[in-house]
Structure 1
Amino acid sequence: MRVLVAGREGQVARALRDRLPRDGHAVTALEPPELDITDRGRIAAALDRAAPDLVVNAAAYTAVDRAEDEPALAAAINRDGAGWLAEAAAARALPFLHLSTDYVFDGTKGAPYVEEDLPNPLGIYGRTKLEGEQAVLAANPRSVILRTAWVCSPHGANFVKTMLRLAAERPELRVVADQLGAPSFAHDLADAIARLAPRLVAAPSGDPGFGLFHLTGAPHTSWHGFAAAILDGAARRGHPRPALAAIATADYPTRARRPADGRLDCGRIGRIHGIAPADWRVSLARCLDALLGPEKE
């Protein structure tokens, strides 16, 4: 199978470049200038050159706070580009897989969100990602949208690497404890996409395997709980363990509002595709091994 991945150096794109060839799939991962999803006219040419069986969109504008000041750029990538890429895939009778986010919700439900819950994004990033979902589903009926959250890996900028950097610089870290969700590691998302790929390629339009799905790690936690696990894991690998203080969102104001409770219910992807959330604590250990080396005896 030939898979075209939009995005090359992002966390999930890098994980897909590593994971898919292990199942015998040929991966072409492109980013500008080879594939600029904000240029509708060049998307078709890139797809024709790659001649894929499946298109995966791992490209996104993810700077949540900066998006408040760059709404046009966020929309060009997250909404227009996603829709145009799905449209080009549909024109070639290709299935399409798109990554989205828990930020499409406002976090006020008080329980994990299911796919049928009404989105209500709080900021530009979440709004443009929601509009991208809508554009994708309108353009290509053979689409899967995976909503995920708190993506981490040994590569790129993410919460794990930020905590490790700050732990080396400060005696105490202050981390928000009243925002809930679940870490999702890029290699676990890549494993899920590798499992989905053959079915999506074979399935006709209308197959229940298409549509909206939630997929994060498990169990649910807070940013503070996640930070504690990171620092404990680093300490077991011989690194300093600073004190960790729990703070409220109000104590750490940001340009964009975040959903206070972005927990996602991942039951639907289990029922339809047999995919269960990975234990993020196991995946964190794997990530820390890659970044810091194994635990000390």
Structure 2
Amino acid sequence: MQATIVTGAGGQLGRQLLRRAELRGVSPVGLGSRELDITDVDAVRGAVRPGDVVLNCAGYTAVDNAESDEAAAVRINVDGPRILATICAEVGARLIHVSTDYVFAGDADRPYEVTDVPDPATAYGRTKLAGEQAVHAVLPSAQVVRTAWVYTGAGTDFVATMLRLERERDVIDVVDDQLGSPTYSADLADGLLELATKPSAPPLLHLTNAGAATWYELARTVFASVGADPERVRPCSSAQFVRPAPRPAYSVLSNSAWTDAGLAPLRDWRAGLAAALDDLTSKTQGPAH
């Protein structure tokens, strides 16, 4: 029987895919790193069956650590996807592989199209690009979906961090010279699940919530959304937050290839954020009595 398999099911996107799939009446198979090592050929061969749809959310995402341990990032971001694609090709399964805006240099002045030439500036970006190429080399029909600035609002993502700092600090400084499209993981999951029903879609796609903002603008919107004074968020430059891996100054991806394929566009990032915060509130408060 055909199955929808989510690898990297323990991560924020993997968890949302399981949740959103259930809401669609699909019973997915969630495989976290403990259940499936995507770099183990035999393990992958034992997990994937003919007709399955594999959504690969597994990845080495420690962007700064990758600068000093690129070999570890290669193992998860290149070798793993290659093995998944190889087994999917062997048995006749589909593969949808999630990638990132970091494959681009981040110096554009207009949204990146799928036809733009990648030029990663970090080890993380290099390994994600190599992973895309490895997938398509062995399974040209696989669909690679690049996304950016993904959050849920829980754990340690940017929105969750802003919610915590709003409670802990009087003022915070947030970078205002990096531009991207904040993307709610539940919206991204819905898009990927729609793609899972359209095997004829192109092999390379971009998908984010619509619109763009800087981290500073996103932080101010988070503060305002929870009733806090957005003036407590102050703008600063990337130079004040130097990290081992440089962050792209421009991460906006064009969703035109997605919509041209007849797939539904994601809503504006502000509406996505409002939904994310509402969802967090409902989980905190629990069901009404």
State the TM bucket, normalised to the shorter chain.
over 0.9
Whether 2:233 is the aligned partner of 1:244: answer yes
Q: CA deviation at 1:27?
A: 0.4
Contact kept? 1:152, 1:186, Cα under 8 Å: yes
Whether 2:219 is the aligned partner of 1:220: answer no
Contact kept? 1:100, 1:148, Cα under 8 Å: yes
Match of 1:229 in 2: 221
Aligned partner letter, 2:83: W
Alpha-carbon distance between aligned partners in 1 of 2:98 and 2:153, rounded to the nearest angstrom: 19
Map 1:96-175 onto structure 2 (within 5 A). 96-175=95-174
Q: CA deviation at 1:9?
A: 1.6
Match of 2:287 in 1: none
86-95 vs 148-157, greater mean Cα deviation: 148-157
Match of 2:28 in 1: 27
Q: CA deviation at 1:242?
A: 6.6
Map 1:168-187 onto structure 2 (within 5 A). 168-187=167-186
Q: CA deviation at 1:99?
A: 0.5
Map 1:12-91 onto structure 2 (within 5 A). 12-48=13-49, 53-91=52-90
Change (3 A) 1:242 1:165: farther
Map 1:202-213 onto structure 2 (within 5 A). 207=200, 209-213=201-205
Q: CA deviation at 1:293?
A: 5.3
Q: CA deviation at 1:20?
A: 1.3
Q: Share of identical aligned residues, percent?
A: 39
Whether 2:251 is the aligned partner of 1:262: answer yes
Which aligned runs of 4 or more in structure 1 are off by greater than 4 angstroms? 239-242
- Please list the CA deviations of residues 114-172 of structure 1 after superposition, one character each: whole Å capped at 9, or x if unmatched: 01111111111111000000011112122111100010114443110011111111111
Q: CA deviation at 1:262?
A: 1.1
Secondary structure in 2 matching 1:146? strand
Contact kept? 2:174, 2:233, Cα under 8 Å: yes
Q: CA deviation at 1:8?
A: 1.5
Match of 2:286 in 1: none
Alpha-carbon distance between aligned partners in 2 of 1:196 and 1:147, rounded to the nearest angstrom: 13
Alpha-carbon distance between aligned partners in 2 of 1:88 and 1:155, rounded to the nearest angstrom: 34
Q: Which runs of 5 or more structure 1 residues have no equivalent in the other structure?
A: 201-206
Alpha-carbon distance between aligned partners in 1 of 2:125 and 2:147, rounded to the nearest angstrom: 12
Q: CA deviation at 1:291?
A: 2.7
Aligned partner letter, 1:26: S
Aligned partner letter, 2:226: A
Alpha-carbon distance between aligned partners in 1 of 2:194 and 2:181, rounded to the nearest angstrom: 21
Alpha-carbon distance between aligned partners in 1 of 2:260 and 2:13, rounded to the nearest angstrom: 24
Whether 2:269 is the aligned partner of 1:280: answer yes
Contact kept? 1:172, 1:245, Cα under 8 Å: yes
CA RMSD in angstroms, aligned pairs only = 1.7
Number of equivalent positions: 282
Alpha-carbon distance between aligned partners in 2 of 1:10 and 1:33, rounded to the nearest angstrom: 12
Normalised to the residue count of structure 1, the TM-score between the two structures is 0.90
Contact kept? 1:234, 1:240, Cα under 8 Å: no
Secondary structure in 2 matching 1:195? helix
